[in-house]
């Protein structure tokens, strides 16, 4: 791989994928909607071409994909738009991959797996999503698998890390960094899985370099599971944070949803805070090698440092 296109380069995982590719000597076309954000993130780095475009515009995608070897699909759209628009833009990406013969690496979440039975989830687990967004993600996954694109799908747990702003943990971290009373979404006693975005980027880029990765689905787990209480204890040790932390319940989100379309969509995914889905990474470990795993303490420390530098 000499040149790659990263869609959603200004987002959390996209940003880390760009940096990982650059570290491996790959020239990157960083694609996003807002040029000012791309420039802020990447203007001082070598080996990056900034491309401002619309993921729903096939001409924009085709121009951005000129002479690239792999497309990394890390772009996303707001929850309220998923039902009408998510499959549309994924089909555009598939079309570019098929017509140009470009390999495709897809960043995906855990929604399609549906409810957990308490055990770690393998890639071959039967997917029976019970939520609207889970069914949408499964439909998108099937679109990719049934296409002629040379593609693979990487499933990740919830993100945290540098520039990962549209995440559950960012809601907590931004208040901690500002030394204000914070909040944590979900019961702080329940252990969940999160992945540090630079680790996820290392894993998906490694897969993209391997011919035998394509045509497959891959689970990329985090370091381990961790409770909200353990996260807050770690943050207090790292920052001397001593403010109150409010637990955000499903009822609270439901009330917010009366006034906010995004919160209305968040409610159905709250089950993941009560019945966490945890990924089994044995396939990656057996075929590729150790899954990159930064400790939560190390990942949170580096994320906080990044956020402070952006102030």
Q: Is the pTM of this model over 0.85?
A: yes
Do 11 and 163 meet the contact criterion of CB atoms below 8 Å apart? yes
Class of domain 3-163+195-222+277-293 (CATH, top level)? alpha beta
Distance (Å, rounded) from C-alpha 307 to C-alpha 309? 5
Per-residue model confidence (pLDDT) at position 262: 64
Closest C-alpha among 66, 58, 1 to residue 29: 66
Per-residue model confidence (pLDDT) at position 129: 94
Work out the angle between the directed axes of helices 197-208 and 12-23 (0-180°, nearest 10).
Answer: 60
Distance (Å, rounded) from C-alpha 246 to C-alpha 26? 43
Write down the domain spans for the chain.
Answer: 3-163+195-222+277-293
> pLDDT digit string (tens) for 188-211?
999 999 999 999 999 999 999 999
Per-residue model confidence (pLDDT) at position 258: 61
Per-residue model confidence (pLDDT) at position 266: 78
- Residues in the chain, overall count: 311
pLDDT tens-place values along the chain, 311 residues long: 999 999 999 999 999 999 999 999 999 999 999 999 999 999 888 999 999 999 999 999 999 999 999 999 999 998 889 999 999 999 999 999 999 999 999 999 999 999 888 889 999 998 999 999 999 999 999 999 999 999 999 999 999 999 999 898 998 999 999 999 999 999 999 999 999 999 999 999 999 999 999 999 999 999 999 999 999 999 999 999 999 999 988 888 887 766 666 667 778 888 898 899 999 999 999 999 999 999 999 999 999 999 999 87
> pLDDT digit string (tens) for 223-266?
999 999 999 999 999 999 999 999 988 888 887 766 666 667 77
Pairing of β 225-227 and β 191-196: antiparallel
Pairing of β 103-108 and β 191-196: unpaired
Distance (Å, rounded) from C-alpha 42 to C-alpha 194? 26
């Amino acid at each position: 791989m000499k040149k790659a296109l990263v869609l959603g380069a200004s987002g959390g995982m996209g940003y880390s994928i760009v940096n990982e590719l650059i570290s491996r000597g790959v020239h990157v076309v960083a694609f996003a909607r807002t040029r000012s954000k791309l420039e802020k993130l990447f203007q001082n780095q070598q080996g990056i071409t900034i491309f401002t475009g619309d993921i729903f515009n096939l001409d924009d995608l085709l121009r951005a994909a000129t002479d690239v070897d792999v497309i990394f699909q890390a772009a996303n759209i707001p929850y309220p738009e998923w039902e009408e628009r998510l499959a549309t833009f994924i089909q555009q990406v598939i079309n570019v991959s098929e017509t140009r013969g470009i390999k495709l690496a897809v960043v995906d979440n855990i929604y399609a797996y549906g409810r957990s039975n308490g055990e770690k989830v393998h890639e071959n687990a039967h997917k029976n999503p019970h939520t609207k967004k889970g069914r949408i993600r499964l439909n998108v996954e099937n679109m990719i698998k049934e296409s002629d694109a040379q593609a693979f799908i990487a499933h990740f747990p919830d993100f945290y890390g540098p520039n990962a702003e549209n995440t559950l943990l960012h809601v907590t971290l931004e208040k901690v960094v500002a030394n204000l009373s914070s909040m944590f979404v979900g019961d702080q006693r329940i252990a969940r899985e999160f992945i540090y975005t630079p680790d996820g980027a290392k894993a998906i880029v490694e897969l993209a370099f391997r011919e035998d990765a394509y045509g497959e689905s891959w689970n990329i787990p985090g370091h381990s599971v961790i409770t909200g209480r353990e996260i807050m204890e770690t943050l207090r040790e790292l920052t001397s944070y001593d403010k109150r932390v409010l637990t955000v319940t499903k009822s609270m989100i439901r009330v917010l949803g009366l006034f906010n379309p995004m919160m209305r969509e968040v409610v159905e995914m709250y089950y993941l805070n009560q019945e966490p889905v945890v990924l089994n990474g044995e396939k990656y470990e057996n075929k590729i090698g150790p899954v990159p795993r930064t400790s939560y303490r190390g990942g949170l420390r580096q994320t906080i440092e990044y956020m402070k530098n952006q102030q």
